[in-house]
Amino acid sequence: MRMYWKELMHQCVEIGIGSLGIVVIISVFMGAVSAVQTSYQLVSPLIPSTTIAQIVRDTVILEFAPTVVCIVLAGVIGSKIASELGNMRVSEQIDALEIMGINTKSYLIMPKIVACLLTIPMLVILSMVLGILGGRLAGTATGIISPDTYDMGLLMNFVPYNVFFALIKSYTFAFIISTIPSYYGYYVKGGALEIGRSSTKSVVISCIMILFADYILAALLLDKAG
Partner 1 sequence: MIEFNHIRKSFGDKVVLEDVSHVMETGKCNLIIGQSGSGKTVMQKCLVGLFEPDEGEIIYDGVSFTDMNVEERKLLRQQIGMLFQGSALFDSMTVEQNIMFPIDMFTNKSFADKLKRVNEVLERVNLVGINNKFPAELSGGMKKRVGIARAIVLNPKFLFCDEPNSGLDPQTSMVIDKLILDITREFNMTTVINTHDMNSVMEIGENILYLYKGKKEWTGNKKDIIFSKNERLNEFIFASEFLHDAKDMRMLEAKGKISDDRDMDELLNGDKID
Per-residue binding string, partner 1, 37-76, x by CB under 8 A, is: ----------------------------------------
How far is it, in rounded angstroms, from Cα 176 to Cα 178?
6
SS3 of residue 32 by DSSP: helix
- Which CB sits closer to partner 1, 35 or 115? 115
Cβ atoms within 10 Å of 177's Cβ, excluding its own: 32
Give least dist CB 197 to partner 1, A: 20
Give the residue among 204, 13, 178 at the shortest CA–CA distance from 85: 178
Contacting range for partner 1; rule: CB under 8 A; set: 95-103, 142-150, 153-161, 190-198? 95-103
Residue 95 binding partner 1, by CB under 8 A: yes
CB of residue 118 vs partner 1: minimum separation in angstroms? 20
Which residues between 102 and 131 bind partner 1 (CB under 8 A)?
102
Q: Nearest-5° angle of CA 98, CA 4, CA 103?
A: 20
Q: Is 148 exposed, middle or buried (0-12, 13-18, 19+ CB in 10 A)?
A: exposed
Site residues (vs partner 1, CB under 8 A): 2-3, 87, 91-93, 95-96, 98-102
